[in-house]
Amino acid sequence: MFNIGDWIYGLFGSSGEMGLLLCIFLIFLIDALVFPTLPEFFFVIAFMYKPELGFGLELLGVALAAELIGVTALYVIVGHLKIPKRIEKLINKYVDFLLLGDERLILLNRIAPMIPFCGAFIRIVKWDFKKSLLYVVIGCVVKYGVIMLMSNFFFNYFGSSEAQWFTLIFIFVVIAISFVLSIVYKKKNAID
């Protein structure tokens, strides 16, 4: 099965730091615009190339820029489309069904992914755009900052081989917890 993230990583990942930064940018941009790409996994793979705080901050900056560009682009694109009222009603009904019904859902989405195409959601449910972008920034910095700091911790206190294993296990746990929490929140809201 074709995986766009693997393809991008294969294309640019072997080009050193700049290639990895471009790789992370493209993966996060596609994740924000088109479909999920497991950016956590690729973020940590890129960080393992050079597990230093400075490079981690560069990765975080690139990831944040890509997310902001992707969310904003999707917001603008949807603003130029004529969304059928039926679709708007379904999306608003879905958002009302969730635990939170406002911009804070963007933060919750970092832990338990429930809203794909965040920029489209922001436009369709008429959330405050600046406030939404603030939550995108906070969510990105916190989630990927924690991932980077934990990875840095593993590389500082364990051998390189063990640190790589701990980091990968940590990422798979984060992804699994996110997946389980999204199912739990959806089921909980279905019962309420």
Predicted pLDDT at 4: 59
| Integer Cα distance of 49 and 107 in angstroms | 28
Contact 105, 114 (CB under 8 A): yes
Please give the DSSP secondary-structure letter assigned to residue 1.
-
Structure tokens at 83: 């969304």
Predicted pLDDT at 189: 60
| pTM, rounded to two decimals | 0.83
Give the pLDDT means over successive 10-residue stretches in the chain (192 positions): 61 79 93 87 86 92 97 96 93 80 86 85 95 96 91 82 80 79 68 56
Going by C-alpha positions, the residue among 86, 69, 88, 67 that lies closest to residue 77 is 69
Predicted pLDDT at 190: 60
Predicted pLDDT at 188: 66
Please give the DSSP secondary-structure letter assigned to residue 126.
T
Predicted pLDDT at 1: 47
